Structures are given as structure tokens and as C-alpha cells.
């Protein structure tokens, strides 16, 4: 996918029309993926850039501290570069604020589309525990079925904790361990018994069966939404 640079709106040539072209080209590709229900990494990338713009707009102090600096002189003998901050240029700041305002306005509809797709996919998911769930279900397996496909994808998962300055969050690490064709004899229950027998490092794992009733792109949509939905299910069960 096409991507925007970390500080695309302040790096390089500070020209509104030029930045507008870069942004619209990026959003055009984002929307092409959304039209095919391909959420990731597009939605995560879009959210990141929107929040980045919002942070710069809301906190001018951070903007001034984090601003990239324009090379003004090179000291070849000492191999030392000195910089002049763009932020000191009032005309540059006005152009940047114009770019940010326009970009957030254009990103918002795409964000709403991505959220609607995410919510729809999540609404089509069903999560069921297989057998008894241990008291600490923070590691185990889940079997993922995509719509009417007979193939099931089996992942080992481990919930993780990460935190920022204000709060703690749950994340999930996964690893594909197997696939199987679901049938009358090859069921999620029988697969659980096989996993316990073959993979002895988890003698009493939590195992979940996750199924969508509609087919979605597996890697770009179903799996990322299933991961987040499983975290939510486990933490609220």
C-alpha cells in the first residue's frame, strides 16, 4: 500500500497544493482497499496519521519541540550540522496549519468508512469457548473459520499488557500452528484434544472457536478483527 511519511505534512516542500496531491493519492488507495473490505494495515495507518495531525494541531509546544529542522550550514571539518527551525518562519507555520486542517477534513470520511466496515465484520463474528475455560485464559488457541470455508486456521495466542502514561491496554500475540478441514469427525473439539496431546507446553489451554457467517479477506480483515474481538471477549467473560 502507498503510505505517508511520518511527518509528511511538514517535511520537504511546504506547498499546500503539493501536499494536497500527496494526501489525495494516499486516500484514493485507502478507499480502494476499503471498497474491497480490506481493513488492515490501511485503517491502522490512517488512524495513526489522523492522530498525529490532531496532536500537532492541539499542542503547539510539542509541535515546536518535535519539528524537523532545516539544514542551514554544514561544518565539514567537525562533521557537524546546524539547523534552523522551520517553526520560526511564520509563513511556513500558516501553510502547515492550512495543510493540517484540510488533511483532517479529508481523512474523516475515510475513517468513518473504515469504522463502519470494522463494526460490520465484528457483528458477523461468533466466539465460543471449546470445553472448560481455565481461570487464567490468557494463553491458548483459537480456531478461525471464514464464512462457509471448510478450512479452519488454528492459532496459538498469548495476551500481553502494554501501557502508556495514562492507562494499561491488552494486546495479543498470535502464531499459526495448524489448519484443518472441518467435518463431522474433524471438529473444533477433536482439534482441541489433538493440540493438548501434541503441544505439551500448554497442558490446560483455553481454546476458542471463532467463526464469521460471511467470507472476508482473511489476513487483511477477518484475522485482525477476530484478534481484537477475542481480546474483548476474554477480558469481559
Q: What domains can be seen in the chain, in order of their start residue?
A: 16-122 (no CATH), 126-236 (3.40.1530)
Q: Is the pLDDT of residue 1 over 70?
A: no
CB count, 10 Å around CB of 93?
18
For residues 137 and 158, what is the distance between their CA atoms, to the nearest angstrom?
9
Sign, Cα dihedral of 179, 182, 185, 187: positive
Q: Is the pLDDT of residue 65 over 90?
A: no
Of the pLDDT bands very low, low, confident and very high (cuts 50, 70, 90), residue 83 is very low
Which pLDDT value is given to residue 237?
77
What are the tens digits of pLDDT across the range 99-128? 999 999 999 999 999 999 999 999 999 999
pTM value is 0.82
Percent of the chain scored above 70 by pLDDT?
A: 82
Sheet with strand 139-146: strands edge to edge: 125-129, 206-212, 139-146, 151-163, 168-181
Of the pLDDT bands very low, low, confident and very high (cuts 50, 70, 90), residue 76 is very low
Of the pLDDT bands very low, low, confident and very high (cuts 50, 70, 90), residue 90 is low
The pLDDT mean for the chain works out to 85
Of the pLDDT bands very low, low, confident and very high (cuts 50, 70, 90), residue 11 is confident
Q: For residues 195 and 88, which has the higher predicted lDDT (pLDDT)?
A: 195
Which pLDDT value is given to residue 164?
52
Amino acid at each position: 500500500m502507498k503510505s505517508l511519511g511520518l511527518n509528511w505534512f511538514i517535511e520537504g516542500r511546504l506547498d499546500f497544493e503539493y501536499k494536497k496531491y500527496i494526501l489525495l493519492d494516499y486516500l484514493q488507495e485507502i478507499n480502494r482497499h476499503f471498497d474491497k473490505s480490506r481493513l488492515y494495515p490501511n485503517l491502522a495507518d490512517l488512524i495513526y496519521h489522523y492522530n498525529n495531525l490532531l496532536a500537532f494541531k492541539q499542542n503547539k509546544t510539542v509541535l515546536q519541540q518535535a519539528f524537523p529542522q532545516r539544514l542551514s550550514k554544514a561544518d565539514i571539518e567537525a562533521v557537524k550540522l546546524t539547523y534552523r527551525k522551520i517553526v520560526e518562519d511564520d509563513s511556513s507555520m500558516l501553510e502547515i496549519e492550512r495543510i493540517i486542517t484540510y488533511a483532517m477534513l479529508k481523512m474523516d470520511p475515510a475513517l468513518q468508512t473504515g469504522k463502519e466496515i470494522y463494526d460490520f465484520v465484528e457483528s458477523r463474528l461468533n466466539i465460543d469457548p471449546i470445553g472448560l475455560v481455565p481461570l487464567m485464559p490468557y494463553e491458548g488457541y483459537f480456531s478461525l473459520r471464514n464464512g462457509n470455508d471448510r478450512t479452519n486456521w488454528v492459532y496459538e495466542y498469548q495476551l500481553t499488557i502494554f501501557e502508556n502514561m495514562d492507562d494499561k491496554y491488552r494486546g495479543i500475540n498470535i502464531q499459526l500452528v495448524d489448519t484443518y478441514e472441518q467435518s463431522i469427525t474433524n471438529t473444533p473439539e477433536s482439534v482441541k484434544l489433538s493440540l493438548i496431546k501434541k503441544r505439551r507446553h500448554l497442558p490446560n489451554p483455553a481454546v476458542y472457536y471463532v467463526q464469521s457467517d460471511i467470507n472476508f479477506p482473511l489476513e487483511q480483515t477477518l484475522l485482525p478483527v477476530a484478534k481484537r474481538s477475542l481480546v474483548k471477549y476474554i477480558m469481559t467473560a
